[in-house]
């Protein structure tokens, strides 16, 4: 299936990695109603995942918060960025509060 890269960014900062990759597809992936394939990752520099949003073929839209995986209701690219940023903020705040 042909895919057009819409956005790619990777940053390493303060011991963390944030990477966002979004493609537009010719047709939706199985289980999705939108034409986007995406992977948004936030984790430690060693690759440990803290927050990830993606939509694997057949798994539909979902997110990972720490070890937990749950469905994600995709409503658009802008909301995806907003939700991802909010989860990163909450994760970092939780890490600061932990003993």
The residue ranking higher by pLDDT, 75 or 1, is 75
- For CA atoms 1, 56, 76, 40, the dihedral sign is negative
- Pair 31, 58: CB distance under 8 Å: yes
Q: In the chain, where are the structural domains located?
A: 3-97
pLDDT tens sequence across 7-21: 999 999 999 999 999
**What's the pLDDT tens digit per position in 80-90?**
999 999 999 99
């Amino acid at each position: 299936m042909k895919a057009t890269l819409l956005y790619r960014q990777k940053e390493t900062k303060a011991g963390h990695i944030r990477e966002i990759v979004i493609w537009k597809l010719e047709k939706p992936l199985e289980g999705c109603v939108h034409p986007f394939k995406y992977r948004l990752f936030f984790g430690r520099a060693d690759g440990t995942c803290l927050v990830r949003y993606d939509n694997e073929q057949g798994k539909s839209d979902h997110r990972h918060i720490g070890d937990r995986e749950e469905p994600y209701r995709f409503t658009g690219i802008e909301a995806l960025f907003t939700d991802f940023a909010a989860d990163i903020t909450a994760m970092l705040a939780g890490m600061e509060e932990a003993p």
